[in-house]
Structure 1
Amino acid sequence: MFTNSQKKSDRGFTLVELAIVSVIIGIIAALATPNVLGLLNRYRVNQSLSTLVGGIKETQRQAMFRGISCRINIGVNTNTLTGNPNNCLLQNRQIRDEIQIRTNIPGATPNISFSHKGNTTKMGTIVLSSENTDLQKCFVIALGTGITRIGTYTGSNTGSVSATYCQRID
């Protein structure tokens, strides 16, 4: 039949082997977690920029399509985008709460107005950032023409914003 040495080899893992594997998995998880969280936070900033740009572009298109003046309000404290009149932005947009919005567009509630030709009477820069990542994204709109630029913001993550620090994405 079987000898003692043959029976021992069929028992599986020892407690020491299991402990070593658990420690190795723990170390790998500890190293990977910050990278995954950083990736998630960068994704949230990029997604918020897409939401912002989509809302502004939709407002501009609706102004030209309807032949009326349309305005998008940017709630820097509430992280909401609303249209005025209501049909200028088909649906209000919500930017994630953990994203900070900073802008140099004047007003208690910063806004961008578009004429029936898609032109704007304001220029400005909007910066989106999160405390959980160093990544800052920016949106710049030109006076009159309504031409826009998006990019990575290289300026300070506090204080006033400037279009100078908005580096275009290629």
Structure 2
Amino acid sequence: MNYSTTTLRMVRPFQVSAERVFDAWLNPEMMRKWLFTLEATNKVVKNDPRVGGTWEIVDERGGKEYRAIGEYIEIDQPHKIVLTFKMPQFSESMDEITVELTPIDDGCEMTFTQEMTVPHEENWTEADIEKALVEFHDGSEHGWNLMFMGLKQLVETGKISFEGMEEN
């Protein structure tokens, strides 16, 4: 199977310490509120936050289960997390995500990078590949943007209110 890769990079400020944001990426009680899932629809959160450890989240929407899994490659508290990410029901391809946290004056800044693997169909042209890369990039950016709005509320206020966060 041929594939291409594209990189999604997003930067977000938080008005809390890097430790607090770092914890939201690794603490199952916090993960279930924002990472690929919401508390109301979450079925499973398993996490073994060490290098070589794995994580798994199962979310149920509209009677269908969505499973996200991965493995930790690097954990440098509270500065950096590198992990793999895959949704086996949609694709065998695996992405790599890097989360870097840098202290700033009133909190921290998160730099999120996702190296995305985009599989090709056999008969695709360069234009088809380009279109898929843009769709994967923009679709992922939209999804992460919603998640990061929830993450920001969670770490800054202790809860997610969902005002303005519903999908249209």
When the two structures are superposed, what TM-score results if normalisation uses the length of structure 1? 0.29
**Higher helix proportion (structure 1 or 2):** 1
Larger Rg: 1
**Higher strand proportion (structure 1 or 2):** 2
When the two structures are superposed, what TM-score results if normalisation uses the length of structure 2? 0.29
Question: Which of the pair has the greater relative contact order for Cα pairs under 8 Å at 6+ separation?
Answer: 2
